[in-house]
């Protein structure tokens, strides 16, 4: 006999309609595979008069999310509105009501997960969040279930499709950053306000969730190093190509021998020979290194209506199967009281550094002298004319640097910024040895 359960949706935008369409289209398939029958009983929306797809259950709409949460016919609540304020209230109220929550809200869980997981434990009610990381790629369930017997040594990924598309167009079509961003917005890959995508925080929130799953403790976003792609220029793309690298917005999560966890997000040079270099467009990929499984790669569409809806529906079924489970709920809970994040200043890689300098004698010598005084080795220099203004009286000076501690590099660059020949803050890319 199939278990019959009611679903309450809060949010009926792109993903919400995708969930409704997927449940309707594959109702029998889902029921046959899981012995669960789920039906959307109530939907909270901002504007009840908004035009919606043909056949949408308009008779089940409300503008009051609390009507969804407290409806006796609703067994599972799906939060799809985003943000960290009202969404928090919705999830918290659902957990207090003993109703499992499904959400794709990475910002909410990354920034307020500690509070919500505490409520999940207190009320023995799960939060499921497969759709919060990498769209339709089942990375969350894999981390919780398939890798349960592995110590996770590292996770390295490209998990923001908007930034990845922009960097690809800059690389393949030679577009300037502003042109590539505009194109992404026209195609619907970037929002009208693309801030969270291009400044790195969308990807960073996902990396924080992956690290929480891998190491069992909640992580404060304020302790995480994040840089976006706003400062990437054609000269950086071209230089990377010459060296056999590709520029990607990369998330790195890594456990060190002393137990410290390194977690950072920034545009990086990655080897053209590495599989992540071929992740293009709005696709996502995560390479996971486990002590038993070795390296595994997860690849697929990182966003969009149908891929994200696929993950939401999978979580709905998981939540349905877990209702009434006597051994405790099936959602994730942090299992360590705490852990130690590696200070970003103590991380080490080689670097590419671009300086905006005056065209005058002795510039290379002055910068090289400051680096040498700090004990930072130089593996190469390059001085192309600024491609945006070849007649200007300044150039971009590029230095490739040997592996050193990031804190030492930061201190040294602050001193170099004070040189009269340097016009602005240097732009730094890590060169990753994956």
The 3-state DSSP class for residue 151 equals coil
Per-residue tokens: 311: 């993950």
pLDDT of residue 395: 67
Instruction: For domain 3-135+305-322, give the CATH superfamily.
Output: NAD(P)-binding Rossmann-like Domain (3.40.50.720)
φ, ψ at 267 (rounded to 5°): -65, 135
pLDDT of residue 390: 57
> Tens of pLDDT along 394-418?
568 899 999 999 999 999 999 999 9
> Tens of pLDDT along 297-351?
999 988 888 999 999 999 999 999 888 666 666 788 898 988 999 999 999 999 9
Q: Do domains 3-135+305-322 and 147-301 have the same CATH topology?
A: no
pTM: 0.92
> Tens of pLDDT along 340-381?
999 999 999 999 999 998 878 888 999 999 999 999 999 998
On average, the pLDDT of the chain sits at 92
pLDDT of residue 135: 85
Q: Is 387 a residue whose pLDDT tops 80?
A: no
Is the C-alpha dihedral spanning 139, 141, 143, 145 positive or negative?
Answer: negative
Rg of the chain (C-alpha set): 24
Domain boundaries, the chain: 3-135+305-322, 147-301, 345-431
Pairing state between β 283-290 and 294-301? antiparallel
The 3-state DSSP class for residue 428 equals strand
Does the active-site annotation cover 206?
A: yes
Helix ranges (DSSP H) in 40-198: 65-69, 86-96, 106-122, 139-141, 161-172, 177-186, 195-198
Q: For residue 162, what pLDDT band results from cuts at 50, 70 and 90? A: very high
What class has domain 345-431? alpha beta
| Percentage with pLDDT > 90 across the chain | 79
- Strand runs (DSSP E) across 76-161, as ranges? 76-79, 101-103, 127-128, 152-158
Q: Mean of the pLDDT values across residues 210-214?
A: 96
DSSP code for 230: T
CATH number of 147-301: 3.30.360.10
Q: Mean of the pLDDT values across residues 130-136?
A: 90
Q: Mean of the pLDDT values across residues 78-91?
A: 96
Which of 99, 106, 206, 248 is flagged as catalytic? 206
Q: Are 213 and 143 in contact (CB under 8 A)?
A: yes
Give the span between the Cα atoms of 194 and 431, in whole angstroms: 26
Only one residue has tokens 């002795």, namely: 362
Q: Is 434 a residue whose pLDDT tops 90?
A: no
């Amino acid at each position: 006999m199939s278990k019959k359960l009611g679903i309450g949706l809060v949010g009926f935008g792109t993903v919400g309609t995708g969930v409704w369409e997927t449940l309707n289209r594959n109702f029998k398939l889902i029921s046959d595979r899981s012995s669960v029958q789920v039906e959307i009983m109530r939907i909270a929306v901002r504007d009840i008069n908004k035009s919606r797809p043909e056949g949408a259950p308009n008779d089940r709409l409300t503008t009051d999310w609390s009507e969804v949460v407290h409806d006796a016919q609703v067994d599972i609540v799906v939060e799809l509105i985003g943000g960290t304020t009202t969404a928090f209230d919705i999830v918290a109220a659902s957990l207090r009501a003993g109703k499992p929550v499904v959400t794709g809200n990475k910002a909410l869980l990354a920034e307020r997960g500690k509070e919500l997981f505490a409520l999940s434990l207190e009320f023995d009610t799960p939060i499921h969040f497969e759709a919060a990381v990498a769209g339709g790629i089942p990375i969350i369930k894999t981390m919780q279930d398939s890798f349960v017997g592995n110590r996770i040594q590292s996770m390295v990924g490209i998990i923001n499709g908007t930034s990845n598309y922009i960097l690809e167009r800059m690389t393949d079509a030679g577009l300037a950053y502003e042109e590539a961003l505009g194109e992404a917005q026209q195609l619907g890959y970037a929002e009208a306000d693309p801030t969270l995508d291009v400044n790195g925080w969308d990807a960073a929130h996902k990396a924080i969730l992956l690290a929480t799953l891998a190491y069992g403790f909640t992580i404060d976003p304020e302790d995480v190093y994040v840089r976006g792609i706003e400062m990437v220029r054609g000269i950086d793309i071209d230089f990377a190509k010459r060296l056999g690298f590709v520029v990607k917005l990369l998330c790195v999560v890594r456990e060190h021998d002393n137990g410290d966890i390194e977690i950072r997000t920034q545009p990086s040079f990655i080897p053209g020979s590495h599989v992540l270099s071929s992740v293009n467009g709005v696709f996502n990929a995560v390479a996971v290194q486990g002590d038993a499984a070795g390296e595994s790669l997860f690849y697929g569409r990182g966003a969009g209506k149908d891929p994200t809806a696929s993950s939401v529906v999978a979580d709905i079924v998981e939540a349905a199967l877990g209702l009434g489970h006597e051994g405790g709920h099936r959602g994730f809970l942090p299992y360590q009281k705490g852990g130690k994040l590696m200070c970003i200043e103590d991380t080490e890689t080689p670097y590419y550094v671009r300086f905006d300098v005056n065209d005058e004698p002795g510039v290379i010598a002055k910068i090289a002298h400051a680096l040498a005084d700090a004990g930072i080795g130089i593996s190469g220099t390059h001085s192309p004319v600024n491609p945006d203004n070849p007649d200007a009286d300044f150039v971009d000076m590029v230095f490739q640097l040997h592996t050193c501690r990031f804190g030492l590099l930061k201190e040294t660059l602050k001193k170099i910024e004070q040189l009269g020949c340097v016009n602005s803050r240097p732009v730094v890319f890590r060169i990753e040895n994956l």
